[in-house]
Structure 1
Amino acid sequence: MRDIVDDLLRLWHSGRMGGLATIVRTVGTDSFPVGSALLVGPDGAAHGTIGGGPLEETVYEAAFQAARIGRRGLQRYNVAIGREVGSLGEGTVDIFIEPFSRRDFPEFPTVAAEIAAHRQITVFTVVWNSDPDVIGQHLITDKRHATDLIALPESDVFVCSFAPPPRLIIFGANAFAAALTTQARMIGYRVTICDARPDFASASAFPGAEVVSDWPHRYLNSLTAAGEIDAGTAMVVLSHDPKFEIPLLTIALRLPELGYLAAQGDPITHARRMEDLLAGGFDETTLARLHSPAGLDIGARTPAEVAVSITAELLATRSGRSGRARSDPAVPKAPARMGL
């Protein structure tokens, strides 16, 4: 639902009613992530997705009806044919469909504000109850919970937890940083760009990113001291200048936890970088944590192409995948997942 928060908020403020469909459970498919949501406005406009295909067409109609008549309920569908089924089995999803308006979710602006401020917020929604009047009730809390469908004696409750987004820190303000900012924000990262050169570290040049003018190693030290670096933090060095990147990488490679650490550069820059770090006392095992040169080998040249390459490697690293083509017979297929 995070990707349609702004659409939901606009509808809420309009005073009109829409229909909201949310995947709350999947069995035997990983193509439809739990928590994915589709909003259908009163005029039929759709926002978000639950995966496309025949399932989305069917669910669109159900959500549109919810927008028109206020119907709510938990529906079970077969993914392949996009039709309702009665039993839970391979290739099925449970989707909660509900009306969405000021009256149906009066607390929603609080949820939207907490998400925008990168603070933890969790929404509990009753998706089934023996009392129909209870279905669709929402409760919000700032406590962290796993996103899950919980079966209680008389209710099923969907818990949707919105943790602060992972952070990507880009060192070096240039065209590659601008392109990478766009890509990273599309996959849910909060982006900060740091550059010691005030003339380059301009907020207007990097919409959607926090821009900091400071020496990279000093800024990283301040973040570390404040406890703002964790196992989900990604860092990409785009400066290419030894006086900036070597002090920075010396600190970064000594951090116990990082989700992704990379440095851009051609083979000559990479060789010089490795020599400098080896001379600084780092061994081969430690240097293996550094993705250098950054990105997957996809023939990228332009800033936009390089941003795709680096983002792809970031995703592969985060998920523990090889980054090879999914059509490669040597790539193991993801096992079917039962439940959430």
Structure 2
Amino acid sequence: MRDIVEDLLRLWHSGRTGGLATIVRTIGSGSLPVGAAILVDANGSIYGSMLGGSVESTIYDAAVEAASTGRRGLHRFGVPIGEAGLDSGGMIDVFIEPFSRRDFPEFPTVAAEIAANRRVTVFTVVWNPDADLIGQHLVTDKRHATELVALPESDLFVASFPPPPRLLIFGANAFAAALTVQAKLLGYRVTICDSRDTVATPDAFPGAEVVVDWPHRYLNTLSAAGEIDSNTGIVVLSYDPKFEIPLLTVALRLPELGYLGAVGSRAAHLRRIEDLQAGGFDDAMLARLHSPAGLDVGARTAAEVAISIAAQLLAARSGRTGRHLSESVDTAQSAQAFA
């Protein structure tokens, strides 16, 4: 639901009613995510996506009906073999409900917490013998997995929205601007840090937080505040040793980090590694550093380099190698992407 929060909020403020459909359980093999949702607004426009094909069309019709009748409930849909998300076929359970101010009065709180990068969890009653309780929501800040919870006399769907993963980009330049665009598409909260206030300006990097500070000092500050974890990525876009070596020295010593990359030519890479080795880093510690950053896709322009780095960042986040999908025995991802 995170990807359609603004659409939901716009509908909520309009005072009109739409239909919201959320996958709460999948039965079968594949990569279809529980929690994926679509919104059908009062004009019939659709926002978000689930799996496409005939099943999504059926879900769309059910969401339109929920908006017009006010009925809410669990629906089970069969997924044909080969449709996106469930490569061997299967079934999905979808909770479909009307969405409006009346139906979800707490929603602005959910939207505000997500926008502020704070954890928020929504408990929704998706089945209960008392029909009046179905569709009731409870909003908390408690940590919980996104899942369907079966209780003796009620089924609850728990949708958890943790703070988004964070990408720290050091170096304010055209590559940083292009990488910001790609990282935002992947759901990252982006911060750009540079010591030069002449180039580190918010207007030049829409969608990113911009900080003017020495890179290593800013990273030390974040680390001391407990703001670096396994969901944090760092990309160094400065070739100047006086900036990048102190920064990489701090980064390589962090106990938790999701990704660490530094761009540059082969010559810059060799110089970088020599400087870090001289600083006491051995091969095992340097193995944490992707240098030069990115996958080998022939990138030349800032936009192409950003795609290359974003692809490697995604591979690191998902524990994949970045090889061709045709070389992988797991083709469900390919089927989902191109259905």
Interval of TM-score (by shorter of Structure 1 and Structure 2): over 0.9
Structure 1 alignment gaps of length 5 or more: 84-88
Cα deviation for residue 310 of structure 1 reads 0.8
* Aligned position for 1:39: 39
State which drifts further: 14-23 or 309-318.
Answer: 309-318
Match in the other structure for 2:308:
309
Contact 1:178 1:206 survives alignment (8 Å) = yes
- Structure 1 partner of 2:337: none
Residues 58, 82 of structure 1: 8 Å contact kept: no
**Which of 327, 330, 333 is the matching residue for 1:333?**
330
Cα distance in 2 for partners of 1:125, 1:31 equals 23
Q: 2:19–2:67: 8 Å Cα contact kept in structure 1?
A: yes
> Structure 1 pair 81/28, CA: closer, same or farther in 2 (3 Å)?
closer
Q: Distance in 1 between matches of 2:284 and 2:50?
A: 42
Counterparts of 1:215-230 in structure 2, within 5 Å, are 215-230=214-229
Number of the residue aligned with 2:163: 164
Residue 234 (1) aligns with residue 209 (2): no
2:80–2:89 CA contact under 8 A, matched in 1: no
Q: CA deviation at 1:30?
A: 2.9
Where 2:325 maps in the other structure, the secondary structure is: coil
Q: Once the 2 structures are TM-superposed, how far is the Cα of residue 19 of structure 1 from its aligned partner?
A: 0.2
Partner SS, residue 142 of structure 2: coil
Which residue of 1 is the match for residue 98 of structure 2?
A: 99
The reply on whether 1:27 has 2:27 as its aligned counterpart is: yes
Structure 2 residue aligned with 1:86: none
Moved over 4 A (4+): none
Q: Is the 8 A contact 1:73 1:128 kept in 2?
A: yes
- 8 Å Cα contact 1:29-1:92 kept in structure 2: no
> What is the Cα deviation at residue 29 of structure 1?
3.4
| Larger displacement relative to structure 2 (24-33 or 313-322) | 24-33
Which whole-Å CA distance do the structure 2 matches of 1:19 and 1:29 have between them?
Answer: 28
- State how far apart, in whole Å, the 2-side matches of 1:16 and 1:282 are: 60
Shift of 1:241: 1.1
Q: CA deviation at 1:82?
A: 11
Offset of residue 80 of structure 1: 1.9
How many angstroms apart in 2 are the aligned matches of 1:82 and 1:22?
Answer: 21
Q: Distance in 1 between matches of 2:156 and 2:331?
A: 28
Partner of 2:62: 62
Structure with the bigger percentage of helix? 2
CA contact (8 A) 2:150 2:156 kept: yes
Report if aligned partners of 1:54, 1:81 keep a CA contact under 8 Å in 2.
Answer: no
1:262 to partner: Cα distance: 0.4
* AA aligned opposite 1:333: D
Counterpart secondary structure, 2:309: helix
Aligned position for 2:182: 183
Which deviates further from its counterpart, 297-306 or 190-199? 297-306
Task: Give the match's secondary structure for 1:95.
Answer: strand
Q: Specify the code of the residue in structure 2 equivalent to 1:75.
A: H
SS at match of 1:256: coil
- C-alpha separation between the residues in 1 aligned to 2:200 and 2:130? 57
Determine if the alignment matches structure 1 residue 72 to structure 2 residue 72. yes
Cα distance in structure 2, aligned partners of 1:318 and 1:268: 28
8 Å contact 1:31–1:51 — kept in the other structure? no
Contact 2:79-2:89 at 8 Å conserved across structures: no
Distance change in 2, residues 1:82/1:48 (3 Å): farther
